[in-house]
Amino acid sequence: MREYPALRDVAIAAIALVVILAIPLLHHSPAFEDFVIRLSAMALFATSLNLLVGNTGMVSFGHGMFYGLGAYAFALMMQMTGLSLPVAAVLAVLITTIAALGVGAICVRLGTDYFAFITLAMQMLLYSIIISWQTFTGGDQGLRGGIPRREIFGFELASQLHLYQFCAIVAVLGLLALRHVSASPFGQTLRMIRDNENRASFTGVVLWRARLWAFTIAGAFAGLGGVLAALFVSGAYPELADWPNSGQAIFAVMLGGINSFLGPVLGAMILLALNDVVTRFTEYQGLVLGIVILAFALGLRRGVLDFLKFAWPGRSR
Amino acid sequence: MDLDALGACLTIPACVVNQTTSGLIVGMLLFLVAAGLTLIFGVLKIVNFAHGTFYMLGGYVAYTALGATNSYTVAVLSGTLAMAVFGVLFERVLISRVYGSNVLMQLLICYAVVLIFDDLVKIVWGPEFHAMGMPAAFQVPPLFIAGGVVPPFYAVLIGIAALIAIALGVGLSMTRFGKTVRAAAINPQMVSALGVNTTLLFAIVFAIGGGLAGLAGALAAPVRSLSPGMGFSILIESFIVTVIGGMGSIAGALVSALLIGMVRGFGTIGFPKFTDGLIYIVMIAILLLRPQGLFGRRS
């Protein structure tokens, strides 16, 4: 298997998928299925962000704009046209990709700090457009009225179990694709840019072009996460494109670890679980979440998977 | 979009005066917050995401102090001083542990502080909005300038902020301490090697930054309502101000804070629903034309 890393990844993904799909058959729990559906959207969102943050060293504060855009594009197409779900989903991801290409073309040549802020400003611009364009986007009320969940490939998405299976399959396939990007020579080039952009430039890499590709790919997968989120909430809300949502993705990435591919997935899991558990016990979730984050930041000083790698070196992946 | 209304306003002196004053209020409060932010960034290279929390706490401390002493002067001073002390504690206890480490780690710590104190404020002062009300000393008839109405408190607020701007400018460029601060911004190791206690210097910079944000919160309390999330929105805008002005530049912070204030003041008439969007467009346009900001140096 060592000679065929791509094959190994596919095998791991297949096993993971089989396990996830088998769980509800053995033990049916609506709360768990609900969690996995939300996790699938968040995991795609956070992992795509890590392609920028961990892989390329581009700290984007505005990644939520593509998540929100994917959700809105998908929900609007489902509500206003008779397109079938897969077509609408693909088109939504395509729109997000083009938007990411456009935004990236403006942003990727800037230095680190300014890149962070201009991406944030771009996101807030989208957010204000969503809020002020009431006739089209529903303004601060969001797109209500639900998404017609038409049947696709035998999946009846109105049923939670089928939505669970659909989201799990999309998320695992999406993550596999991202893994492929990050392990490819292109992914290696991005890591080279992160570690030493001058040397990368000397070897003939066109920095802005590689960064623009990374930004576009990351935007596309965040859009895919947004599509899943829109399916889950059955609509689209401005909060999806608001900046605390980008913050959530950054914290998922940081909590899980930026140097491990599965770090952001683990981080998303921790963050969602924390939110769920804390909401049950206290209304002051910010207080508890803040203390936990502080403990992580000051105690481990890195994400969980990065910490494990640091504590037990040798088993590097 | 309502460009006719904007055009009509610009021809009426009273309207111009009113919108300019409200723009100046927004701009000056933003300047006080952004000045601390940009000072901290300039010297310590820390992007302080918890700066809005200082502003919020300053407002709440002033609110309580006013209730206890009935003196607005005491309220403003206690809000300012409390936040200066809080700034030092924040720097010593938390931020000093992550100097030189990943920017994201600093961001994470600041965000944790924001979350914690938003909830602590809810616990101590309750989740509802509080209105401080105009202090008794300022409950006097407004000034009339060219037909426009200017409450005296607005004039005082603008005056205090302008004084602070001058004091900061003179202090940084003329005094020995200011020169040390500027030197530390360029090369802290060298300044430390020359016998300056940089640990103390960094703490003082955080005290000034925190105090300015606390002052802004205390000055804003009579004209805006207090709520647990109030730090969040001013944080974003003061970041825009520092980025437009050039990170680390006080003069840049002043000019861009006034620019944003004016966009807000007149934007509410021309583009009532899209004022926020207008500000982001200004920021994007300026960053594209001058990526280092108006007064920033190219790194």
Point out the residue among B105, B114, B115 whose CB comes nearest to the CB of A301.
Answer: B105
B103 touches chain A (CB under 8 A): yes
Over residues A208-212, mean pLDDT: 94
pLDDT at A38 (0 to 100): 92
Point out the residue among B101, B104, B118 whose CB comes nearest to the CB of A59.
Answer: B104
Is residue B171 in some structural domain? no
- Cβ(B231)–Cβ(B60) under 8 Å? no
d(CA A198, CA B118): 43
- Average pLDDT over all residues of chain B: 88
Is residue B157 in some structural domain? no
Percent of chain B whose predicted confidence (pLDDT) is above 90: 46
* Interface contact flag, B280 A254, Cβ < 8 Å: no
Tokens 């996101």 belong to A123
Q: Is the pLDDT of residue A89 over 80?
A: yes
Is residue B226 in some structural domain? yes
Beta-strand runs (E) in B167-242: none
Point out the residue among B98, B108, B283 whose CB comes nearest to the CB of A121.
Answer: B283
* Interface contact flag, A106 B284, Cβ < 8 Å: yes
Neighbouring C-alpha atoms within 13 Å toward the C-beta of A173: 7
Band of pLDDT at residue A135, cut at 50, 70 and 90: confident
Name the CA dihedral angle for A107, A110, A113, A118, rounded to a multiple of 10 degrees. Answer: -30
Which chain B residue is nearest to residue A110, measuring alpha carbons? B291
User: Alpha carbon of B146 to those of B16, B24, B49: distances in Å?
Assistant: 9, 17, 41
* Interface contact flag, A293 B280, Cβ < 8 Å: no
Distance from CA of B145 to the nearest CA of A (A): 34
Of B260, B249, B250, nearest to B282 by C-alpha is B260
DSSP assignment of A126-141 equals: HHHHHHH-HHHH-GGG
Tokens 């912070």 belong to B253
pLDDT digits (tens, 9 = 90+) for B170-207: 999 899 999 999 999 888 889 999 999 999 999 999 99
* Residue of higher predicted confidence among A80 and A153: A80
Q: Is the pLDDT of residue B287 over 90?
A: no
pLDDT at A40 (0 to 100): 94
pTM: 0.85
d(CA A152, CA A157): 8
Is residue B215 in some structural domain? yes
Band of pLDDT at residue B47, cut at 50, 70 and 90: confident
Residues of A in contact with B292 (CB under 8 A): 114
Band of pLDDT at residue A232, cut at 50, 70 and 90: confident
d(CA B266, CA B18): 10
Domain hosting B222: range is 3-132+186-289
- Cβ(B186)–Cβ(B64) under 8 Å? no
Over residues A147-165, mean pLDDT: 74
Percent of chain B whose predicted confidence (pLDDT) is above 70: 99
To probe the interface with B, which of A117, A250, A270 has the most B CB atoms within 10 Å?
Answer: A117
To probe the interface with A, which of B287, B288, B292, B294 has the most A CB atoms within 10 Å?
Answer: B287
* Interface contact flag, A286 B111, Cβ < 8 Å: no
Going by the DSSP 8-state scheme, the letter that residue A230 receives in this structure is H
pLDDT digits (tens, 9 = 90+) for B143-166: 788 777 888 899 999 999 999 999
Distance from CA of A172 to the nearest CA of B (A): 27
Q: Is the pLDDT of residue B69 over 60?
A: yes
Q: Is the pLDDT of residue A1 over 50?
A: no
- Cβ(A178)–Cβ(A48) under 8 Å? yes
pLDDT at B7 (0 to 100): 84
Is residue B281 in some structural domain? yes
* Interface contact flag, A247 B111, Cβ < 8 Å: yes
B182 touches chain A (CB under 8 A): no
Residues of B in contact with A243 (CB under 8 A): 236
Q: Is the pLDDT of residue A70 over 70?
A: yes
Beta-strand runs (E) in B134-190: 143-145, 148-150
Residues of A in contact with B236 (CB under 8 A): 120, 124, 243
Q: Which residues contact A69 (CB under 8 A, 6 or more apart)?
A: A95, A96, A99, A126, A223, A226, A241
Over residues A110-135, mean pLDDT: 84
ipTM over 0.90: no
CA torsion sign, B275 to B277 to B283 to B288?
A: negative
- Cβ(B242)–Cβ(B37) under 8 Å? yes
3-state secondary structure chain A: CCCCHHHHHHHHHHHHHHHHHHHHHHCCCHHHHHHHHHHHHHHHHHHHHHHHHHHHCCCCCCCHHHHHHHHHHHHHHHHHCCCCHHHHHHHHHHHHHHHHHHHHHHHCCCCHHHHHHHHHHHHHHHHHHHHHCHHHHCHHHCECCCCCCCCECCECCCCHHHHHHHHHHHHHHHHHHHHHHHHCHHHHHHHHHHHCHHHHHHCCCCHHHHHHHHHHHHHHHHHHHHHHHHHHHCCECHHHHCHHHHHHHHHHHHHHCCCCCCHHHHHHHHHHHHHHHHHHHCCCHHHHHHHHHHHHHHHHCCCHHHHHHHHCCCCCC
* Interface contact flag, A287 B98, Cβ < 8 Å: no
To probe the interface with A, which of B47, B102, B109, B116 has the most A CB atoms within 10 Å?
Answer: B116
- Cβ(A306)–Cβ(A259) under 8 Å? yes
pLDDT at A317 (0 to 100): 47
Please tell me which of A132-136, A163-167, A295-299, B267-271 the model is most confident about, judged by mean pLDDT.
A163-167
* Residue of higher predicted confidence among B250 and B297: B250
Q: Is the pLDDT of residue B299 over 60?
A: no
pLDDT at A5 (0 to 100): 78
d(CA B238, CA B244): 10
Q: Is the pLDDT of residue A212 over 90?
A: yes
Give start and end residues of each alpha helix (H) in B45-71: 51-69
Over residues A62-89, mean pLDDT: 90
Band of pLDDT at residue B68, cut at 50, 70 and 90: very high
Over residues B1-10, mean pLDDT: 80
pLDDT at B44 (0 to 100): 86
* Interface contact flag, B47 A113, Cβ < 8 Å: yes
- Cβ(B238)–Cβ(B51) under 8 Å? yes
Q: For chain A, what are the domain ranges?
A: 5-242
User: Alpha carbon of B143 to those of B49, B156, B277: distances in Å?
Assistant: 38, 12, 33
* Residue of higher predicted confidence among A306 and A77: A77
Over residues A73-93, mean pLDDT: 88
What is the tally of structural domains in chain B? 1
Strand pairing report for B143-145 and B148-150: antiparallel
